[in-house]
Structure formats: C-alpha cells, structure tokens
Chain A
Amino acid sequence: MMNPKNLTTFVIIFLSLNVIQAQTKFEKEYRLKNTSVPAKVQAFIDSLPFQEKIKWYFEENNTGNSIEAKFKSDKIRYSVEFDTAGNIQDIEKEIHWTDMPASTQSRITAHLNTGYGYHKIQKIQIQYSGSSDDLINFINKKNTKNITIRYEIIVKTRLIRKVSLFEMTFDENGQHLNTAEIRFKNTDNLEY
C-alpha cells in the first residue's frame, strides 16, 4: 500500500510528465504588403463590416502556412486567418475571462487545477470557424449556425519551481482539446 506522501509525489510527477509532453508551439510570421494579399482574401475582408486599417501577415507554424489579417475595432483585437489558397480558416477575437459563459469558465478552471500548479491566464481569444458563407452570416447577423466556437488561452504556470507558458484550446463548453508549450525566444541580447 502506497503511503500518502509517496502517492502525492507520484501524482505530482505524473501530472508534470503530462504537462511536459505537450507539444511545442512554433510560429514565424512577417508583414505582407496590401498588394501581395490574394484577391480572394481581400474580397472576404472587404465584405466584413469593419473599416479599420488592416495589417497583413504571412505565418508559418506547426500546422502549415497561413495569411492573417489583424486589426483593432472598438479597442478589441481581431485576427482573421486564411490558408495560402485564400480560404478562410477562422476569425479570432480577444475577450476577457468574464465574457465566457460561467459553465465554460468552471470547466476551464477545473482543467487548470489539475496538474499545472500556480497558473495565471494572460490572454483569451474566442475563435469562430466555419465555411466562408457561414462566417459572413455570423458576422452580419450573429447567427452561429454551423459555426464552431473554441477558446484559445495563454496561461502562465509554475509547477515545482518551473515557470512555463502554454497555449491551450478548449471547445465552446470548456472541454480541453489541446495544449502546446510556447517556446521562449532568446533574450541574451536584451539582458547583456
């Protein structure tokens, strides 16, 4: 029979391994000129009811390349992602913790309380994905039919004196889908 102290140690090690096994998030992006944006992408953006200045980016990450439009409207940051063929992938919007339904909050909290030690949410984005027509319908009429909603959360954690940063994805109900550890860029040239 395992004594409580050993059991606690086992649980901590098991949960730490679980956290460590999360894949590493890789991202590389650079600015695009407006004239380099594919016509199909530009047409979609033009159909949105936003007049703000748009910054265009080309992004490479673990799952492939994409084109991203970023803009701010009413002090809220938006990002619209397309594949390189110009098909829309998703729309992301920065939100606050209190903007999420209470039931989603409690499921996310329950997940964070299992294995991440001390944690602090740094950023939350709500992600809407679906077909081009459905997304336009959603933006114009707030109709969520055929729209998949997910939450992307950046969380700082401290477990057994190790501080980490994770990007976690949850579904609309707060069910955990994926965790990727965010790799820190070298800061030597800013420290010395």
Chain B
Amino acid sequence: MDNILTRRKFGLKTQTTLNTRFWLLLLFFGIALIQKNAAQSGYRIGLLPAVNINKPIGRGWAVNFKYELRQFVAEGDYSASPESAFEYDLSDFIFIASKKVGLNNTIAGGYLFRLRGATVTHRTIQQFTIVRKLNAFRLAHRISTDQTFEPDNPVEYRLRYRLTTELPLNGESVDPGEWYVKISNEYLNSLQENSYDLEVRLIPLLGYEFNDNNKLEFGPDYRISSFLENSPRSVYWLSVNWFVKL
C-alpha cells in the first residue's frame, strides 16, 4: 500500500522489465514444444490447491508443513473434447525440518503422508536447496531424493532436480504489494523395481506478495510422464499456493 501511495504522491508510473517478457516468451515456446510431443495421448485436468506454513525455530532451523489436495475436473485425449470427470483424488500432508547451511543453502528432510481413498502412502524426503539473488531476479536450484512406500507396491525411489526463477514484475526485487512471475522446471527420475520413468514438470505461476511472510501464487502446473517408452501421460493442474511464514 505504501508503495502505491508513494508512487501516487510523486505522480510516477512503473514499468514491466524487458527481462520478464523474454522469460515469458521462452516459457510459451517450451509449453508448445512439450504439447507437440504429447499429441495422440491421454491427459487429465485438475485443481491443486496447497497451503505451505513455515516456522523458523532458531539457529537456522525451520519447520515446514504443507497440505495439498488434488481434485480432477476433466479427462480425455488430444483427438477428442475433454469429458467432465469431477473426482477427488488425494490429500498430501508434508512435514519437513530444514537447516540453513551458509548464506544461500538449505538442507532439509521430511515425511509425506498421503491419503488416497483407503490407501495410505508414506514417503521420506531429503532435499538440498541453493537460492541465489542475481541483479534482477532470484534463482533456486533444488535437488531432492525421496522414497515412497505404498501397500502392495515395491518401493519407488526418485531423484529430482528443480530450477526455479522468480522474476519481479516491477523493479529488481519483489517487494510487498507487488506481483511476480515464478517459473519452475523440474525433472523427476523414478525407479521402481527395475522400471525407470522420467517426469517433466513446467510450472509458470503468477504470484502476489502481501508481505515478505505472506504470498499467494497461482497458474498452470503441467506434468508429462511415460514418454520414454509408452504413450505420454499429461496432467494439467491449476495450482494455487499460499505461503505463510509464522
């Protein structure tokens, strides 16, 4: 609010950076390329709301809780119109403890508890994150491994790498009361009893910072898997993330 008032006070207009336009263009080309490869295959569309609560507990330690829900709304293949398929899928409860190691690095470990109908899935998670502040944007690398335990299924081991860019839509950093674009690209390698798969995710989100401890992000979350050997499987989520720091 201060920001807007100050701008009005001095009669100043603000400007979207050229840098942002470049990244958005690159993103649209990326999506078009992946969709071309996914033609002739099935897809699903759903909602992916999540709340993420983080609480620092001193000496660089923090605890994080995330609740995420998956709700499918439609499905089909690319040669026909989508059919309505309003179906609740699952709920994830994720607990993570993290420790800052150095100025920009964080190591973290945690546990996921997934409820899908009567099936309960357990997952252990380990991750390492590097966040860098560059001149006009922030860049984050996240490397993580997880192990998923599900009844009647072999253990699934995954190795993930995610690159995330946060681009301010105004100025060189995101300040309270400002919008930003956050683009994530993630590669998930999965191994389950000699069966390997690669999933690729592209998540361009629009975010709003109420203040440094309260942010809302929303936008598409595109995931494609099984494209190495079988016909690709695509899922389009509408992602809504609320980040709160206590």
- Give chain B's interface residue range (CB within 8 Å of chain A): 35 or more
Q: Does B243 lie at the interface of the complex (its beta carbon under 8 Å from any beta carbon of A)?
A: yes
Contact: B7 with A35, CB < 8 Å?
no
Stretch at the interface among A25-33, A97-105, A140-148: A25-33
Provide the bound-state CA to CA distance between A188 and B140, in Å: 11
Residues of chain B in range 218-246 having any CB-CB distance to chain A below 8 Å: 241, 243, 245
Stretch in B8-16, B24-32, B69-77 with 4+ CB within 8 Å of A: B8-16
Q: Which stretch (B33-41, B114-122, B171-179, B190-198) binds chain A?
A: B171-179
A29/B173 in contact, CB under 8 A: yes
A residues 139-192 near B (Cβ < 8 Å) are 156, 161, 163, 165, 185-192
Q: Are B207 and A189 in contact (CB under 8 A)?
A: yes
Decide yes or no whether A44 CB sits under 8 A from chain B: no
* Contact across chains for B217 and A190 when beta carbons are under 8 A apart: no
Q: Is B170 an interface residue (CB 8 A)?
A: yes
Instruction: Name the distance in Å between B240's Cβ and chain A's nearest Cβ.
Output: 13
Contact A32/B15 with A186-B245, A188-B245, A189-B215 known, Cβ cut-off 8 Å: yes
- B100 at the A/B interface (Cβ < 8 Å)? yes
The answer to whether B6 touches A60 (Cβ under 8 A) is yes
A128 interface residue, CB < 8 Å from B?
A: no
| In contact, A58 and B12 (Cβ under 8 angstroms) | yes
Taken together as a complex, chains A and B put the C-alpha atoms of A189 and B174 apart, in Å, by 12
| Count, chain A residues at interface, CB 8 A | 26
> Which residue of B10, B54, B98, B164 is within 8 Å of A84 (Cβ)?
B10
- Say whether A188 contacts B52, CB under 8 Å: yes
Query: Does chain B have a CB within 8 A of A65?
Result: yes
Given A32-B13, A58-B12, A65-B6, A190-B131 contact (CB < 8 Å): yes
What's the least CB distance linking B140 to chain A, in Å?
4
Complex Cα distance, B103 from A106, in Å, reads 26
**Which chain A positions have C-beta within 8 A of B146?**
none
Contact between chains at A28 and B3 (CB < 8 Å): yes
Query: Of B164, B171, B207, which contacts A31 at CB under 8 A?
Result: B171
Q: Tell me whether B96 is interfacial, beta carbon within 8 Å.
A: yes
B241-A28 in contact (CB<8A): no
Contact of A190 among B13, B15, B129 (CB under 8 A): B129
Task: Pick the contact of A30: B11, B52, B178 (CB < 8 A).
Answer: B178
The 0/1 profile, CB within 8 Å of B marked 1, for residues 64-89 of chain A is: 01000000000000000000100000
Contact B100 A192 (CB under 8 A): no
Judge whether B14 and A31 touch: CB under 8 Å.
yes
Residues of B close to A116: CB separation below 8 A: none
Q: Is the CB of A32 within 8 A of B215?
A: no
Q: For the complex, what is the distance from the CA of A191 to the CA of B17, rounded to whole Å?
A: 25
Whether the Cβ atoms of B14 and A33 lie closer than 8 Å is: yes
Q: Please, which residues of chain B bring their CB within 8 A of the CB of A65?
A: 6, 10
Interface residues of B in 29-74 (CB under 8 A from A): 52, 54, 59, 64, 66
* Contact (Cβ within 8 A) B212 A185: yes
A3 contacts the other chain (CB 8 A): no
Q: Which parts of A1-58 form the interface with B (CB within 8 Å)?
A: 28-33, 35-36, 55, 57-58
Given contacts A58-B12, A185-B212, A191-B140, contact A31 B17 (CB under 8 A): yes
Using Cβ atoms and an 8 Å threshold, which residues of chain B touch A186?
212-213, 215, 243, 245
Interface residues of A (CB under 8 A from B): 28-33, 35-36, 55, 57-58, 60, 65, 84, 156, 161, 163, 165, 185-192
A57-B172, A187-B138 provided; 8 other pairs, C-beta below 8 A?
A28-B3, A30-B3, A36-B12, A60-B6, A161-B59, A165-B103, A185-B138, A187-B140
The 8 closest A-B pairs by CB, nearest first: A190-B140, A30-B171, A31-B15, A36-B12, A28-B175, A30-B170, A33-B13, A187-B131
